[in-house]
Structure 1
Amino acid sequence: MVTRPAGHLPRLVVAAPSTGQGKTTIATGLMAALRARGLEVSGHKVGPDYIDPGYHAVATGRPGRNLDPHQVGVERIAPLLLHGARGADVAVVEGVMGLHDGRLGTDGFASTAHVAAITRTPVVLVVDIARMSRSTGALVAGMAAYDPAVEVVGVVLNRAGSARNVEEVRRSLRLPVLGVVPREESLATPSRHLGLVPAGERDEAAALVTRLGEHVARHVDLDAVLDVARSAPDLDATPWDPAREVTPVPGGPVVAVAGGRAFTFAYAETEELLAAAGCRVVRFDPLTDPALPDGTQALLLGGGFPEVHVGELARNTALLAQVREAVAAGLPTVAECAGMLYLLDSLDDVPMAGVIGTSAAMSERLVLRYPVARAVGDSLLTRAGEEVGGHEFHRTALTRAARGWTPAWEVDRELIGVASPTLHASYLHVHWAGHPHLAQRFAEAAAAAVPVPAPPAVEPPAPVASVVDLPPDPLLEPLLHHGDREVGPGLLDLAVNVHPEPRPAWLERALAEGVRASTNYPDPTPARAAIAELHRRRPDEVLVTAGAAEAFELVARWKQWRHVVVVHPQFTEPHAALERAGHRVTVVPCRAEDGYRLDPAAVPEDADLVVLGNPTNPTGVLHPAAEILRLRRPKRVVLVDEAFIDTVEGERESLARDRRRGLLVVRSLTKHWSLPGIRVGYVVGSERSIAGLAARQVPWSVSTPAVHAALACTGPVAVAEAGRRAARIAAWRSVLVAGLAERGVEVVESQASFVLARLGAGAREALRGQGVAVRRADTFPGLDGSWVRIAVRPPETTALLLGALDACALVPS
């Protein structure tokens, strides 16, 4: 950290001729690279965007800041820059869109060029030269000469290819080249329906930013960049100070501010204003925290992507109920965009807090506005007629207007949001640094509010020392609940679908050989060839994976899917992998009245990824291959999870040998060959698809023992034994189904190594009391607690289950 005169700040703007040139990658990497040199770096973003500053914060270790004349006024830009960069050695400002692109109809107001001119900051242009050579020189010359108030001082050439092309580009330029950055697709930041995935939602964000910094440091002249930054003149401005903008209120009221992965959009100055106004800002996570912070006197729900996490938000019912009661009772509450959605009756038909009597759903239309909004009436935050500069950015829409409320804003002759003396909620985002009176009013309302009562303490049940004790249920993550959580010491395992017979001697020998060979790094090439031969495909159409789970993760991160559909109820790991990758998942249910069979017509036409199991876990339903093929569309991928197809006699309806475009088939060797601790599976598909997945696979993810297992389990001896096992499973299943039918139990017709049976509420727990573990089914979307999944076992084991059912008196007499 440095001490320097108030107006002295080494700084530069990273801009581009247009969106898509790579300025976020270069700017973020530059911040990380300079920080790695030991410098204190301050990151800034032109415009209202919340997401890029999140990556800036990871790169710099300081809050990312926004510089937006539309929202805060021209006069505050330089003061806010100096405020955000207090103690920094250098400030890096990332531009927005093209250098001269600003608010439409305003001749470039709030553009990168406008901010560079206001702050007298030199500009470095990032230019993607993947498809250009000498035209780069003309483009840069035009950008540099267009506005005399903007000083373009250097160029970073991005996505550079051959040395010959780079040299041609260099000769065309009249400005210094500060860096030549080659193509590196693995460093791209993922996007979703509204842009980049926020850093707060990406577990790997820190590692990605570190790699960006290393990449930029290798290919950009950091000394030259620092020389550019140090050439910036001193600013004739006083750093912004929140303490000069507001007056402290008494009592230190607690303001609860939503955070976590679902609420990542916030301007740092908002919390600074509230703190300066005497509030105690306490963050909480609506995904995981069961209650508001102790003593909450006001609630701030900012923006984010609740539609991506709607299921987890809905499952936190205790917090939703507390928020509903507190806001209805008059808790001062401000909710912007995502925050407003959280307060609705429902979002995409999933229940929310129920404060505002309407719902919202994803729509085809992206709303992107940069308006001046006018307050409709007096409210918690506003007084009638007041105007603010704000922005809207959302792809959800209200299903109908909220009745009984005063609108919050008039925007482009449209009334939006709701407002009252204690609540202000709308799609509009507002930067409070430009309107500090909003923070003042909110703090005053908080100081006058009664703290939210703490929820009543719930006495935990007394522990019972017994083999029937259940492991803790993953209340917030049912998609990650697996059968192994049901088993325990002394329990008969009918919950896990691993084949119950011993592994064949030839497989044991292969595993032992794999362990001996594990002194070398694994090479899956022989396994790819063997799997390809089994399915009559080429080796480049096969990818060996660490179980089906890795395959699902690779597919989830392969593309920026626009509309993902998962057909449920089915194995939840693909759904979970897609959510982890930041995708919003549309559930298409198979109906009980149809026997949980696939209806291809129910899948939305615009879906570009459709996932289903065959046979489906947990129903055991085997869908006809012809019905699955009806799902194919141009530019759509159909992912078929055939993890249990080897339990089906003759592997009927398998699509592993079908080479039509748009099909991916995932197979697992885990369950049929009793290999859950080895983790081995594979994907088959077109050469292009497999190459795309392979590019995202971690090196050596498939162990040497797994490679040997794959070789053994796909050879002729294994194929013959698999057929015999499938026949035995069919016979065992008949005994189980008959025994359940004799007791009046509803069973879904299964062709797999498990059956889905409706034993009634409480049956699973009662069976545990008899020493029998079955798989709960209410964690599969579309099923409730009356269903359980039962693994098929030999008749003598099935007899124990049926005896336990009789002892529990769970079935009709």
Structure 2
Amino acid sequence: MKDREPLLQTRPRFVVAGTGSGSGKTTVTLGLMRAFARCGLKVQGYKCGPDYIDPAYHSAVTGRSSRNLDSWMTSGSYLQEYFLTTSEDADLSVIEGVMGLYDGKEDIALTGSTAEIAILTDSPVLLVVDVRSMGRSAAAIVLGFQQLEPQVRIAAVIVNRCGSEGHYRMVRAAIEAACGIPVIGWLPRDSGLDIPERHLGLLPAVERGELEPLFEHAADLLAEGTDLERLLELAAAAPALQYPPEPDAVLQAQGPSLSSPGILEPGMPVVTETETPDSGSLPALEPASQEQPVSAGPPLSSPAARIMPADTSRPAHRPVQPVIAIARDAAFNFYYADNLELLERAGARLAAFSPLSGEGIPPEADGIYIGGGFPEEFAAVIAANSLFLDGVRAAAADGMPLYAECGGYMVLARSLTDRSGAVHKMAGIIPAHSIMQERRAALGYREVTALHDCLLLKQGGRLRGHEFHYSGMSYIPGEDRIYAYESKGRGGSQPEGYISGNIMAAYAHIHLASHFPAAGRMVEACLTYREQKKQAKQRL
């Protein structure tokens, strides 16, 4: 564990929240991020909740790896420290909300909501309001959002989908008179700002630069219609923060509490009324001399190494680092950055490889992690990569630890049926067929409990995660199947996933920070496999 920082930490920041899904918060977030980045600021993006696509947008517009903040899957103290650690070298942090400001896991509480994260990070909120076909009623909406939760500080408003500049002036006057906060910008109704459907393989389009015209257009409109200087002043006036106290024994042993929301846990930000950052500390808003670079995704590096409690049961410096192969390309790209960092903190060395580029499992691998993504969009290419599929089969047969979730789970099946009905042969490790369907199959938070000892958990151990998929897994009758988890969501509980020896696969995208020992357990399994492989070679 790193030394705790005793001083207050200056972090210019704001949260972009919407009144509901579809209000335009992603468009506003991307436009503001690009506008500030074009002015030479180092902008650090964050996304509230379990989302992989919006962080990819953030990374594309800022040139920096965006990160997730989740107050249900991780503890409040973890979230606070992770935010402070990963924003350390940024000029400005922009936190994009999820759904509406107060929408979360619970019907009558803030658990997992944008509002809870705004409170945990003590961030001012920029509220995005869709004012189509609306006049003074827009003020009633903002006033209701102000009054629902006194701890949430709505600092300013941007109105979206205005019919004209005159419409903007009308709703601005109404909101400012009734609510006492500034309306600092607006966007017109513009089909050029429409972001494509989220489930159709957007990340490859981001990587190819196909969404650059949308990003630039949003930045142009917001730079023209928004008082960026005033928004920066609001961000710079955000109260200084302090690193939370040392995690307690329960956190070190078990991760965050699985019974109470993060906002009720100890470790709230330490804030003072008098010690706030000086707005003059931000760079002046001048055009940058060079284009911002585009990031392909979070690097395999370890800010979370400063956060995860040290495992005192093993030496601090491992003499040997087991290698975990990470499938990472346009088909497999749904990874929480801190999941990878926590595996590194637990002692692993990560080696990325690309099945879409024809690559197989790296020969030095002692374990494999295949994340989610869009394998259905590239099923023919994956099926044609015998080096990858044969390598996965051979690794599984040899007992190498293999963890797969969602898209990775699909690829371990015997076949994958894509949206057009075409059937593609997959690895065949799991006795099932993965079939895409038109309607969404699952969406929502999951708390999973291990039904048996497995790669990540002891029997009865719990992790938190999220499901979002359009496929179903059809298991072959009569074939052996051992469920990985009992998975609990809003609709109840059911057994889910598959385990066999060192193989573990399921639909849930789990967050390793919800139970710190899980990362160490996987790394330990990889180390054991490495040592067994070494001994086998010595016997030859």
TM-score range, shorter chain: 0.7 to 0.9
CA contact (8 A) 1:27 1:94 kept: yes
How is 1:81-100 mapped onto 2 (pairs within 5 angstroms)?
81-100=83-102
The answer as to 2:307 corresponding to 1:305 is no
CA–CA distance in 2 between the matches of 1:246 and 1:334? 23
How is 1:84-233 mapped onto 2 (pairs within 5 angstroms)?
84-105=86-107, 107-174=109-176, 175-193=181-199, 200=206, 202-233=208-239
**Structure 1 residue 343: Cα displacement:** 0.7
Pair 1:198–1:75, CA change in 2 (3 A): farther
CA contact (8 A) 1:11 1:90 kept: yes
**Structure 1 residue 20: Cα displacement:** 0.4
The answer as to 2:34 corresponding to 1:27 is no
Deviations 1:206-245 (A, max 9, x none): 4543443333222221111111111211123249742443
CA–CA distance in 2 between the matches of 1:255 and 1:38? 37
**Structure 1 residue 136: Cα displacement:** 0.8
Q: Which residue of 2 aligns with 1:570?
A: none
How is 1:344-363 mapped onto 2 (pairs within 5 angstroms)?
344-348=413-417, 349-363=423-437
**Structure 1 residue 5: Cα displacement:** 5.3
CA contact (8 A) 2:192 2:214 kept: no
The answer as to 2:483 corresponding to 1:407 is yes
Find the structure with the greater CA-based Rg. Answer: 1
Pair 1:314–1:6, CA change in 2 (3 A): farther
Deviations 1:54-105 (A, max 9, x none): 1111122221111111111222221121122121111100000011101144
In the superposition, the TM-score normalised over structure 1's length comes to 0.53
**Structure 1 residue 200: Cα displacement:** 4.8
CA contact (8 A) 1:378 1:421 kept: no
CA contact (8 A) 1:58 1:209 kept: no
Pair 1:452–1:230, CA change in 2 (3 A): farther
**Structure 1 residue 7: Cα displacement:** 2.7
Q: Which residue of 1 aligns with 2:412?
A: 343
Q: Which residue of 2 aligns with 1:494?
A: none
CA–CA distance in 1 between the matches of 2:212 and 2:42? 17
Tell me, what secondary structure is at the counterpart of 2:373?
coil
Tell me, what secondary structure is at the counterpart of 2:457?
coil
**Structure 1 residue 290: Cα displacement:** 3.0
Overall identity of the aligned pairs, in % = 39
Q: Which residue of 1 aligns with 2:309?
A: 245
Q: Which residue of 2 aligns with 1:688?
A: none
Match of 1:13 among 15, 21, 30: 15
CA contact (8 A) 1:380 1:420 kept: no
Pair 1:299–1:424, CA change in 2 (3 A): same
Corresponding letter in the other structure for 1:431: H
Count how many residue pairs are aligned between Structure 1 and Structure 2: 451
Pair 1:42–1:5, CA change in 2 (3 A): farther
Tell me, what secondary structure is at the counterpart of 1:339?
helix
**Structure 1 residue 246: Cα displacement:** 4.7
Tell me, what secondary structure is at the counterpart of 1:227?
helix
CA–CA distance in 2 between the matches of 1:273 and 1:90? 25
Corresponding letter in the other structure for 1:390: G
CA–CA distance in 1 between the matches of 2:465 and 2:226? 36
Q: Which residue of 2 aligns with 1:316?
A: 385
CA–CA distance in 2 between the matches of 1:445 and 1:143? 49
CA contact (8 A) 1:54 1:198 kept: no
CA–CA distance in 2 between the matches of 1:197 and 1:14? 22
Tell me, what secondary structure is at the counterpart of 2:465?
strand
CA–CA distance in 2 between the matches of 1:289 and 1:390? 30
Deviations 1:509-542 (A, max 9, x none): xxxxxxxxxxxxxxxxxxxxxxxxxxxxxxxxxx
Match of 1:447 among 492, 502, 527: 527
Corresponding letter in the other structure for 2:197: S
CA contact (8 A) 2:201 2:377 kept: no
CA–CA distance in 2 between the matches of 1:323 and 1:435? 27
CA–CA distance in 1 between the matches of 2:385 and 2:104? 41
Q: Which residue of 2 aligns with 1:427?
A: 507
Deviations 1:33-54 (A, max 9, x none): 1111111111001110111011
**Structure 1 residue 294: Cα displacement:** 3.1
CA–CA distance in 2 between the matches of 1:51 and 1:4? 36
CA–CA distance in 2 between the matches of 1:194 and 1:112? 26
CA contact (8 A) 1:11 1:92 kept: yes
How is 1:600-615 mapped onto 2 (pairs within 5 angstroms)?
none
5+ unaligned residues in a row in structure 1: which ranges? 454-813
Corresponding letter in the other structure for 1:54: A
**Structure 1 residue 143: Cα displacement:** 0.8
Deviations 1:586-629 (A, max 9, x none): xxxxxxxxxxxxxxxxxxxxxxxxxxxxxxxxxxxxxxxxxxxx
Corresponding letter in the other structure for 2:444: R
Corresponding letter in the other structure for 1:399: S
CA RMSD across the alignment: 2.4
Tell me, what secondary structure is at the counterpart of 1:271?
helix
Q: Which residue of 2 aligns with 1:275?
A: 344
Q: Which residue of 2 aligns with 1:40?
A: 42
Corresponding letter in the other structure for 2:429: V
**Structure 1 residue 108: Cα displacement:** 2.8
CA–CA distance in 2 between the matches of 1:451 and 1:190? 48
Deviations 1:753-775 (A, max 9, x none): xxxxxxxxxxxxxxxxxxxxxxx
How is 1:52-67 mapped onto 2 (pairs within 5 angstroms)?
52-67=54-69
How is 1:768-779 mapped onto 2 (pairs within 5 angstroms)?
none
CA–CA distance in 2 between the matches of 1:98 and 1:452? 51
CA–CA distance in 2 between the matches of 1:225 and 1:283? 39
- Asked which structure has the greater RCO (Cα within 8 Å, sep 6+), the reply is 2
**Structure 1 residue 447: Cα displacement:** 1.8
How is 1:366-765 mapped onto 2 (pairs within 5 angstroms)?
366=440, 367-400=442-475, 403-412=479-488, 413-450=493-530
CA–CA distance in 1 between the matches of 2:108 and 2:409? 30
CA–CA distance in 1 between the matches of 2:196 and 2:110? 29
CA contact (8 A) 2:42 2:92 kept: yes
Corresponding letter in the other structure for 1:341: M
